[in-house]
Amino acid sequence: MQQLALDDWIGKTGSLSATIPVPNPVLAARIRAVLQPGRTAVWVERGREIWWGGVLWTAEVQSTDRGFLSIQIQAGTWDSYLDHRLLFDSQRVDDVDQFDIVRNLIDYVQHTPGGDIGIECDPQPSGTRRDRSYSRYDLPTIRDLITQLSAADGGFEWRIASYRDPASGRRVKRLQLGSPVIRTGTADIVLDHPGPVLSYSWPVDATKQANAWQSRGATINNNQAQDSTPLTSALLVADGDIAAGWPRLDGSSDYSTVEQQPTLDAHARADWAAARHPAAIPEVTVHVDGRISPALLGAVVRLRIRDLWWAEGLDERYRVVGLALTPPERGRPETAKLYLEAS
């Protein structure tokens, strides 16, 4: 594989892209047999350590004017498979731990013929119990159901981690859940700039910021003589922000399958809390050494920067929520980009 690029995240699908050169008929036959989009599993190893795993979704044969052939491939982490699975059976749960709801949805996926891709689950609870009702007539994807559940007030983070079992050596796909967030590691990793941090980017985005919020739910009409109106949450306004001089910024969200007022209110509070402040996801590029691996997702790093912008010095702790790897190629060292959020 050449021109390999891959990333992995907490809370969203990771991706992989690469080019496979086809220099002769023997390799062409091997590639044709192995690369079957929608069916082939892709594992990336660095030494004996697994750095990435997922499903191959696209493969494109390309030929140059000089007759050189190559295959461009793209894959998504295992959670992307849940975008391709629908709920065909109505389900209702009452007073059930939210982690058990997720595991039940994964069990639903894997107990259908052809649906078991080997995702393993741990039995730990979250301590938060919920009521949920899912209708088969909505045809929701399993991923959307898990994402909506995780986004409620008092929710959780989730991902499907890939690693090699140290005892047996087998490759593992494991559902990783954390409430309210996924945390790994016990000691902070110190990253300095200048130093191991080669470069950084610090975007701050207020385009989706809001201090006033309302969410809409399903349209419910028990009286055909009246107009249909959607269920709505209470209007949430951060009066303290406005008193401090912020302009009013309105926001909303839609949950067309939510029919219960408490459930909709919980979604609205979570969305409002997330939208209150500008989104800042610092990105730091570092050399790949023994400290950098996919196990960093969820770990805390101590970032220290001193330069013209941080003249007095930055010394803060951040949690790693995303990782992108750039393997070494001619004249280019191996680097990783870490995506951070305030810890």
Mean pLDDT of 76-89: 97
Look-up: residue for tokens 């000089």? Answer: 66
pTM above 0.85, yes or no: yes
* Separation in Å, CA 191 to CA 5, 202, 246, 306, 316: 23, 15, 34, 12, 10
Higher-pLDDT residue of 202 and 228 is 202
Residue 57 has pLDDT above 90, yes or no: yes
Binned at pLDDT 50, 70 and 90, residue 119 comes out as very high
CA gap 145, 151 in Å, rounded: 10
Average per-residue pLDDT for the chain: 93
CA angle (108 as vertex; 102, 114 as ends), nearest 5: 130
How sure is the predictor about 221, in pLDDT bands with cuts at 50, 70 and 90? Answer: low
Asked if the model's pLDDT at residue 243 lies above 90, the reply is: yes
Instruction: Give whole-number Cα distances, 188 to 159, 181, 201, 291, 304, in Å.
Output: 22, 17, 21, 11, 12
The token pair at 209 is 């910021």
- 3-17, 86-100, 216-230, 288-302: which range is least confident on average? 216-230
Looking at residues 300-319, what average pLDDT do you find? 94
| Count of CB atoms situated within 10 Å of the CB of 188 | 14
Is the backbone of residue 95 left (phi > 0), alpha (psi -120 to 50) or beta?
left
> CB neighbours (10 Å) of residue 142?
22
- pLDDT score for 223: 61
Q: At 36, is the pLDDT very low, low, confident or very high (cuts 50, 70, 90)? A: very high
247 prior amide bond cis, ω within 30:
no
Q: Cis (ω within 30 of 0) for the bond into 262?
A: no
